[in-house]
Every structure is written in structure tokens, then in C-alpha cells.
Amino acid sequence: MSGWIWPLALLPLAFASGWWLHWRNSRRSSGAAVSRLSTTYFRGLNYLLNEQPDKAIEVFLKIAEVDRDTVETHFALGHLFRRRGEVDRAIRLHQNLVMRDNLSDEQRTEAVLALGEDYMRAGLYDRAETLFTDLLKLESSAPRAMKHLISIYQAEQDWQQAIEHAKSYESATGEPMGRLIAHFYCELAERARCQGKPDAARDNLRRAFDVDANSVRAGMLEGRLEAKAGNDVAAIRSFERVARNDPDFLPELLPDLLDAYRRHGDLARARSFLAEMIERYPGVSPVLAMTALVQEQEGGERALEYLTGQLRQRPSVRGQGALIDLSLAQGATAERDILLVLGQLTEKLLSGAPTYRCQRCGFGARAHHWHCPSCKNWGTVKPIHGTAGE
Ligand SMILES: [Zn+2]
């Protein structure tokens, strides 16, 4: 331990140096107290600016010790400890503060919040949870405590509690939480699906749509659930609706949607939907899917013609790869060697690049995440557009 023996151990020091007495006396003449305090305060500030936080802490500790009313100094100290990664010291300081009996209600709330935040930083989620929950019992509208509890329950994957608190937070602050709550219901739905409880999964999806009617994730889950149950018409309806709401997710759901069309034996509908998407969506995925259908139904020659025409309008490395494959399959003999080299090159170009990126923090990934691993936002990771992506 870092030898935290404040406040008792520092008292003799303060007395011995005469500093405390001096300060007490000078305090009697009004104005002098302020200037004495400011001198000390600025000395501390100076240490801070010179990046000597140890000395700064020492000075601030003295101010804090001499005047029990300087609660703000304690908060500043706690902040300083945290910034230096000394969570243990911050915890002890805030514990001490919470137990003082001369705090205003506001200050006590602030101290409890600060202590809970220390616990969170130290990874002591259960203690933080207890503290914030107790605070909410005393003071039902402590939005900061609610917000912390929401992230604690997320970390613990206690989605039910996360939902309850997100709803309370929304009614306390008026800040819309529907999109976040829908993700929590989707987590519950996915859990139910994994446990082989499709009905419970459907209930949670309905709740997700209640709070966020355009939830992409709930729509995709619903589509997969219906497809698994053999309800291809319902699956097709869900996937199509998601793609129309947010075409950015088209590449994510296209393979499942195409499977559903195929099982249902409705390739005509597949082609008309793809044609609609190609109009509305700038990426290459629907073009490639359409090319495959044209090849299957009308032959390679027509597919090659179609793809060439499309790629003139939307150049893409993946499109180029498909064009090369198609040409090879059509038996283009003279250019064969060149095509083979081009094909390998294309594959190389595509293999290293991330295909998804978080629109909030820029995190790049090869697989899709609903919860950004970097900035922890929900639903912000989307397929990348551009020649090497969609
Ligand atoms: Zn992010």
C-alpha cells in the first residue's frame, strides 16, 4: 500500500511546522485568510503545472486538512489521485468524505458518486452497484448514478436491470434511450434463441420494436428466427424491411435473405428486390448477388455483360474479382495468364483490409460487432464503403 495515513499522521506535521497555527491566526483577520489560502493554493497549482503532482498533492492535503470546510479541495484531490491512477487513495479520500457529518446534501451525493466511480475504476462493480442503488433509494433522481448503473449492468450482462435503469433514466432526464434499450432487448432475444426458446426470443424482439420501431438488429434477428422456423415468407419480409430502413446493413443480411428466396422458390422477387436495392444503395454486394442470379438463369455471357456494365458505374475491387472469375469460367483463353495474375492480386488487396468501421471512433474490424469494442457505442459499426469495401 502507498502508506496512506491521512488525516491523523499529517496533523502533527502541520502543527510542528507552525503552519496550521499561523494559518488559523491569519484567518481571524478577514481577507488575510483568503490570501494565505490562495498563496498555498497557487503553490499547489504551480507544482501541478510543473508536473510535480506529489508536491501538489502534499500542498492540497494541507489545505484540506486545515479547513474542514474545503470540501471542494477534497474533490480536487480525489480527481488528482484518479488521474494518477491511484484509485486506492481516491477511494480512501472519498470514503472519508462520505462519513463526514458537515456536508450539505448536494456535497454528500457528489461524494457518494465519486466513491462509486472510484469503485468502478478499480473494477469493484458489486460495491459500486450497492452504493449507486442505495443512493437512488435516497434520491430517486440521481441521473449520474442511473447512468453508471446502466454501464455496470451492461458489463455484467444483466440486461433486464440495464433496461429498467435505462427506462428510469429516460423518464428522469428526457434523454431518449430507445435505441440503447432495443439493443438490450436484442441481447435477451439472442440469449433466448441460444437456449432454444424461440417464443421468448420473439417476445423480446416485440419489446425491442416497441422502443425502437426501426431497430435494424431486431429486424435481422427476427428474420433469422423466422428462417430457422421455416417461415420463409416472414423471414423475407423482415430482411427486406431492415434493408429498406437502413441499406447500410444490406451486405450483412443478403446471404440469409437470398437463401430464404431460394428455399421459397421465388427468384423473381429476389431479382426485383435486388434491382430496387441497386438503385438505392451504392455498394457492390447487391450487384454481385444479381450477377450470380443472371448467370444461373441466363448464362455466363449475359452475367459478364451485366457485371461489366455495372462496374463502369461503380468501380470496386470485389467487383473486379468477380469479373475475373466470371471471365475465367467463360474460358477466355488468350488472356488467361493475365487474368490469373489479376485474380491473385485482387484477392491479396482484399484480404488485409478491414471491412467494417465504427462511425463514432473509427475502429476497424474484419467482423461485424453490434457493440463497438473500442468506444462501447451500440450500432455504430458499419460496412466500409469505397473501392476495396462495399
Ligand atoms: Zn467505436
Question: What is the reported pLDDT for 26?
Answer: 41
Ligand 1 midpoint to CA 356 (Å)? 11
With 50 as the cut, is the pLDDT of residue 30 above it?
A: no
Ligand 1 midpoint to CA 121 (Å)? 20
Ligand 1 midpoint to CA 23 (Å)? 51
Residue whose C-alpha cell is 431492415: 242
Residue-wise pLDDT tens digits, 158-197: 999 999 999 999 999 999 999 999 999 999 999 999 999 9
Region of poorest pLDDT, from 102-106, 205-209, 211-215, 344-348: 344-348
Backbone angles phi, psi at 381, to 5 degrees: -85, 120
> 3-state class of 365 per DSSP?
strand
Which alpha helices (DSSP H) does the chain contain, by range? 10-16, 19-28, 32-49, 53-66, 71-83, 87-99, 105-121, 125-138, 143-155, 159-173, 178-194, 198-211, 216-228, 232-245, 250-264, 267-280, 285-298, 300-313, 317-329, 336-352
SS3 string, 223-244, reads: HHHHHHCCCHHHHHHHHHHHHH
With 70 as the cut, is the pLDDT of residue 268 above it?
A: yes
Ligand 1 midpoint to CA 358 (Å)? 5
Ligand 1 midpoint to CA 381 (Å)? 7
- Domain coordinates of the chain in residue numbers? 246-349, 353-390
* Mean pLDDT for the stretch of residues 234-256: 94
Ligand 1 midpoint to CA 385 (Å)? 17
Comparing 36 with 97, the larger pLDDT belongs to 97
* Mean pLDDT for the stretch of residues 281-309: 91
* Domain 246-349 sits in CATH 1.25.40: yes
With 70 as the cut, is the pLDDT of residue 103 above it?
A: yes
Residue whose C-alpha cell is 486545515: 66
Amino acid at 212: D
Ligand 1 midpoint to CA 207 (Å)? 26
Ligand 1 midpoint to CA 362 (Å)? 6
* Mean pLDDT for the stretch of residues 280-288: 90
Ligand 1 midpoint to CA 359 (Å)? 7
Ligand 1 midpoint to CA 379 (Å)? 9
Ligand 1 midpoint to CA 67 (Å)? 44
Question: What is the reported pLDDT for 237?
Answer: 96
Residue whose C-alpha cell is 435494424: 216
* Mean pLDDT for the stretch of residues 107-118: 91
Long-range contacts of 46-53 (CB under 8 A, 24+ apart): 48/80, 53/80, 53/84
Which residues fall inside 5 Å of ion ligand 1, going by CB? 358, 360-361, 363, 372, 374-375
* Rounded Cα–Cα distance for residues 12 and 18 (Å): 10
Residue 273 binned pLDDT confidence (cut-offs 50, 70, 90): very high
DSSP state of 249: G
Ligand 1 midpoint to CA 146 (Å)? 22
Ligand 1 midpoint to CA 326 (Å)? 37
* Rounded Cα–Cα distance for residues 301 and 330 (Å): 7
Ligand 1 midpoint to CA 174 (Å)? 25
Question: What is the reported pLDDT for 16?
Answer: 34
